[in-house]
Structure 1
Amino acid sequence: MSRAEFNALSIHQKIKLLYAEGTFIVGIRYYTHKVNLYLLDQQYIEVFYNHKADKIDKIDFLNENHSRMNFYLDQIQLKD
């Protein structure tokens, strides 16, 4: 699935697709959100869950240049 096709989906369709076909990688806390990182078709996708509002605010492709990458790198353990 291309980025354009994924972006054209509703938030409910994105959630269903990620949970059915995606692979959960790691979850982090980022300000008011819990952000879950998934791998789908060789693309990393972030799901931003807002605890206070009890809803998913955003689902988007990972921006590898964002400072949030440091939070992910702190959570990933590489074996020797």
Structure 2
Amino acid sequence: MKKIGILLLCFVAATKTFAQTPEADKILGLWLSEDKTGKIDIYKANGKYFGKLIWGKTMYEPDGTTSRKDVKNKDEKLRSRNLRA
């Protein structure tokens, strides 16, 4: 009887763990910004969620070829990187 109880407990714990994943993963994929001026790819890596700018209306300077920089990044070291990799 004790083995059945332990087995049942393991089954419930495993089911609960896997049951949360599909709900949280609904955010994965390509999304348009609310004003439709940008496209963002939401992806998951090592259990964490990330977003990558795929396209944006203002990704380039007015000359149309020079990529804008990430000047609003909280990390000062990353402010000189291009918005478009």
Give the TM-score taking structure 1 as reference length: 0.32
Higher relative contact order (CA 8 A, sep 6+): 1
Bigger CA radius of gyration: 2
Query: As a proportion of its length, which structure holds more strand?
Result: 1
Give the TM-score taking structure 2 as reference length: 0.30
Query: As a proportion of its length, which structure holds more helix?
Result: 2
